Structure formats: structure tokens, C-alpha cells
Amino acid sequence: MQIFAGANKGMTHYDDAVAILREKGNRLTPQRLLVLSTIAESRHHIGIDEIYKASKSVYPYLDLATVYRTVHLFRDVGVLTEIGIGDRHTYELRTRDGQHHHMLCRQCNKTFSLSPHYLEAFKASLVKDFNFEPDLDNFAVAGVCTDCKSQRT
């Protein structure tokens, strides 16, 4: 389909996601595939508004409600990771490798990746002290990023 001609970057994850969606019996409409390829092509964590804007530039008849429904479907099926604190959410394709956590800036709304090793000691101490097995796959911490900090005086 010609509208997906640009989806080269992140193609592997895109293909994986398509395979998973198909496996689980989801209909792959052109609109769903467009939303998926928009997220796959994004180099960063992407918000609904950005997904909408980028997808709409390819297919002008797309409406925001469809984007919401599609993104939530993908999240529920497990091909997307949702990163959110409060009412701000960003998304990325779930990767088999490169699992990471997130830091969210409250001021600029940017999402930053956090390598899992930062949480290994934390995880180990929850197991040791509480016999509690934490699920940190969607772990995110809110705060203020270095750029925003340096703008404060």
C-alpha cells in the first residue's frame, strides 16, 4: 500500500507488531496500519496528538477518536507500551530487546529513556525486604529534566 512507503525505520518492530495483531485476530484496516507505522517511524516516544497530526497528513479523513481507539487497542493487545503520569501519555512500540524505563519531565512533557540497571538494586530490595515481585515494565518517574532545570534561575 503506497501510503506506508516511508515506513522503513523501525520496520522490524512494525512487522513484529503486525504479526502479533494478526495472530490475535485483529482486523488490520488501513487506518490501523497507518497509526502503527506512524508510531514505528517515530524516533521518540510519541503522544496521541502527534500521532494524529502525522497520520492525518498522510490520510486527511482520519479522525481523532479513531486514533484514540486504535492506540488503546494496540496497548491492550500488547504491541505498544504506554508511558504516562497524570493525563499525559506517550507511546512506543514494545520491543523484544532494549527494554527500558522512563523519566517524564513535568515542564516540557518530554519522555526520557532510563536504562534498566538503574532499577536493579531497587527491584532486588523489594524482593529481599518484602518478598514482593515488582513489575517494572511500565515504570515511569516524573520530575524536571536538565534543560528545564537550567532555565530556572
CB closer to Zn ion out of 58 and 112: 112
CB closer to Zn ion out of 62 and 71: 71
- Residues at the site binding Zn ion, with contacts judged by CB under 5 A: 92, 105, 107-108, 145, 148
- Nearest-angstrom CA–CA distance, 106 and 147: 12
Identity of the amino acid at 116: P
Tally Cβ neighbours within 10 Å of residue 103: 18
CB of residue 93 vs Zn ion: minimum separation in angstroms? Answer: 9
CB closer to Zn ion out of 119 and 148: 148
- Nearest-angstrom CA–CA distance, 12 and 17: 9
CB of residue 35 vs Zn ion: minimum separation in angstroms? Answer: 18
Name residue, grid cell 515494565. Answer: 137
CB of residue 122 vs Zn ion: minimum separation in angstroms? Answer: 18
